[in-house]
Structure 1
Amino acid sequence: MNWNSASEFLAMGGYGLYVWGSYAVTALIMAAEPWLAARRRRRALIEAMHAAESESSS
């Protein structure tokens, strides 16, 4: 495909909304995954510490 302007490139022959929307959703998911994984890890470590404390006090 040949585009004569940046606006034609962004429009992607009428499919720009779907193409750029897909890129945006993918980028959002890729950015959110490490943050969510770190949050789950932190929560698991806290739960493990609480479980160890309750075992040692029993």
Structure 2
Amino acid sequence: MTLESFLHMGGYAFYVWTSYGITTAVLLWNLFAPIVQRKQLLRQLALKQKRAQR
């Protein structure tokens, strides 16, 4: 088995590699989205706290 035949995936390479790509993108989104949302929430809470102190 050569690298080329492995990457070709028996003629199904487009579907296989597309599936891997989509899966990787979803996993990365699930990793980074909560981090970004947490930063936004903390920023909003800090602004509300500053307004309340005035």
Sequence identity percentage: 26
Cα deviation for residue 10 of structure 1 reads: 1.6
Cα deviation for residue 41 of structure 1 reads: 0.5
Find the counterpart in structure 2 of residue 10 from structure 1: 7
1:48 to 32, 45, 48: 45
Find the counterpart in structure 2 of residue 30 from structure 1: 27
Root-mean-square deviation over aligned CA pairs: 1.6
Find the counterpart in structure 2 of residue 21 from structure 1: 18
Greater RCO (Cα-Cα under 8 Å, separation 6 or more): 2
Q: TM-score, normalised to structure 1's length?
A: 0.71
- Specify the structure having the higher radius of gyration (Cα): 1
Cα deviation for residue 17 of structure 1 reads: 0.8
Give 2:51's aligned amino acid: S
Q: Return 5+ residue gaps in structure 1 as ranges.
A: none
Cα deviation for residue 7 of structure 1 reads: 1.7
* Higher fraction of helix: 2
